[in-house]
């Protein structure tokens, strides 16, 4: 369904001053071992992220659930302990009306098996991501190809899973560092132009917890008994907290674009729009991170690139997928139906959607296709005589 992509970013990235990298990573509390760049794509082998927490500025929004609130809310914990997610997923990607496909995605229903280890006690583990490239597909492809090594460099931490606040804080910190590490690696990667960038959204299911990290305008939406709950915030200039942050850091919004060039306020890459020498930049790669405790009320999660959300509200998408799951219980078919609906509504972008089922679904009989039923009735002798007369033309 997806056409072969055309490589647009031909310009090589200029060498950035090493002092700049040191300033950037020191600002975020990350240690990076910068070694000579090679032509080999897996550059993350040269990036080493320290174990200390990253000190990042995060924008809070109304729907966010802080880690402290999540851990301390006994109303969430009590039913969740009995709940075990039943994870299945389906994905659909379509080039849409664009000339090239710049979206990429990751879909892993069994993360432990993918990483090659076993939990002491069997539990759900899954990882999903969507990347929406701009300035060509190179940045999105690069981050996808290196994501597993970046996000799960310390696989031992997952094996030592413990549902306490300290473990979840470490997990959250590791995801923040992964976004920052990807951003720094894109600055060094010669195969990716400095004018290329990508948004990124990840979703990690671990036991009864769901963690979503987002930088850009991809979106994650959780269905809680039919109600759409946004798990991410679109980082666009139209979002007032982001607009204020941009202006406080010396940037400006021109006709809905950051510094007149970019339609998002957070992204990986785009180093020609980021300030050098470690100074603050209006365009940042820091993700917003949400952690929630899953319960039996949580039916499924949708993550998708902005081509979906440009034409569909979160609730419309949830309602469409929920009807589909109750009709055929097939997440992949639901993802196809979601993309098809976005195309019908004339989305002008590439389209990528992943539907992640979290709870068993009961097929609803009323949603099944039904045969048309005819009602038979008997006619009186007089009625039959009149009908015969009409048919014979008398």
**Does the pLDDT value for residue 81 go beyond 70?**
no
* Residues contacting 121, CB < 8 A, separation 6+: none
**Does the pLDDT value for residue 327 go beyond 70?**
yes
From CA 324, how far away is CA 246, in angstroms rounded? 40
pLDDT for res 161: 77
**What is the value of pTM for the model shown?**
0.74
Confidence grade of residue 310 (pLDDT, cut at 50, 70, 90)? very high
* Residues contacting 159, CB < 8 A, separation 6+: 117, 119, 120
Mean pLDDT on 3-32? 40
Confidence grade of residue 8 (pLDDT, cut at 50, 70, 90)? very low
Mean pLDDT on 373-394? 72
Q: What is the chain's Cα-based Rg? A: 25
**Does the pLDDT value for residue 32 go beyond 90?**
no
State pLDDT tens for residues 274-286. 987 567 899 999 9
DSSP assignment of 14-52: PPPPHHHHHHHHHHHT---------S-S-GGGG----SS
* Residues contacting 391, CB < 8 A, separation 6+: none
Mean pLDDT on 18-29? 42
pLDDT for res 383: 77
CB 31 within 8 A of CB 50: yes
SS3 189: coil
Confidence grade of residue 69 (pLDDT, cut at 50, 70, 90)? very low
Which residues on adjacent β-strands are paired with residue 300?
Answer: 223, 357
Confidence grade of residue 227 (pLDDT, cut at 50, 70, 90)? very high
* Residues contacting 108, CB < 8 A, separation 6+: 114, 126, 127, 128
pLDDT for res 276: 72
Between the ranges 60-64, 174-178, 308-312, 384-388, where is the mean pLDDT highest? 308-312
Q: Classify domain 18-57+65-367 at the CATH class level.
A: alpha beta
**Does the pLDDT value for residue 77 go beyond 90?**
no
State pLDDT tens for residues 96-148. 999 999 999 999 999 999 998 887 778 899 999 999 999 999 999 999 999 99
**Does the pLDDT value for residue 172 go beyond 80?**
yes
**Does the pLDDT value for residue 230 go beyond 50?**
yes
Tell which residue, 360, 341, 305, has the closest CA to residue 104: 305
Percentage of residues in the chain having pLDDT higher than 90:
61
Confidence grade of residue 25 (pLDDT, cut at 50, 70, 90)? very low
Question: Which spans in the chain are helix H?
Answer: 18-28, 67-72, 74-80, 111-115, 138-151, 155-159, 165-188, 240-248, 306-309, 314-328, 331-344, 381-391
Between the ranges 78-87, 231-240, 270-279, where is the mean pLDDT highest? 231-240
**Does the pLDDT value for residue 223 go beyond 60?**
yes
Mean pLDDT on 36-46? 36
**Does the pLDDT value for residue 368 go beyond 60?**
no
């Amino acid at each position: 369904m997806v056409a072969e992509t055309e490589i647009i970013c031909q310009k090589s990235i200029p060498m950035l001053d090493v002092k700049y990298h040191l300033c950037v990573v020191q600002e975020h509390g990350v240690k990076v071992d910068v070694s000579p760049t090679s032509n080999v794509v897996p550059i993350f082998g040269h990036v080493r992220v320290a174990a200390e927490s990253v000190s990042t500025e995060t924008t809070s929004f109304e729907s966010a659930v802080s880690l402290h609130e999540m851990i301390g809310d006994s109303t969430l914990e009590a039913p969740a302990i009995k709940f075990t997610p039943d994870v299945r997923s389906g994905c659909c990607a379509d080039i849409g009306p664009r000339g090239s496909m710049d979206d990429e995605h990751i879909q892993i229903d069994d993360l432990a098996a993918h990483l090659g280890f076993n939990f002491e006690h069997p539990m759900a583990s899954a990882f999903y991501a969507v990347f929406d490239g701009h300035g060509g597909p190179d940045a999105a492809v690069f981050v996808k190809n290196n994501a597993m090594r970046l996000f799960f460099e310390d696989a031992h931490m997952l094996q030592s899973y413990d549902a306490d606040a300290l473990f979840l804080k470490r997990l959250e910190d590791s995801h923040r560092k992964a976004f920052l590490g990807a951003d720094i690696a894109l600055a060094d990667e010669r195969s990716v132009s400095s004018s290329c960038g990508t948004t990124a959204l990840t979703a990690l299911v671990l036991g009864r917890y769901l963690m979503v990290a987002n930088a850009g305008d991809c979106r994650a939406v959780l269905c809680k008994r039919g109600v759409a709950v946004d798990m991410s915030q679109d980082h666009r200039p139209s979002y007032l907290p982001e607009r204020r942050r941009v202006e406080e850091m010396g940037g400006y919004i021109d006709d809905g674009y950051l510094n007149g060039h970019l339609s998002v306020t957070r992204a990986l890459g785009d180093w020609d729009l980021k300030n050098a020498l470690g100074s603050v930049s209006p365009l940042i790669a820091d993700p917003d991170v949400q952690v929630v405790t899953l319960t039996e009320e949580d039916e499924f999660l949708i993550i998708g690139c902005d081509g979906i959300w440009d034409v569909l509200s979160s609730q419309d998408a949830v309602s469409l997928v929920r009807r589909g799951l109750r009709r055929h219980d097939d997440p992949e078919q639901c993802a196809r139906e979601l993309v098809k609906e976005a195309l019908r509504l004339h989305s002008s972008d590439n389209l990528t959607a992943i539907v992640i089922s979290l709870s068993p679904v009961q097929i609803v009989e009323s949603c099944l296709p039904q045969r048309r039923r005819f009602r038979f009735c008997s006619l009186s002798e007089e009625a039959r005589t009149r009908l015969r007369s009409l048919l014979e033309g008398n």
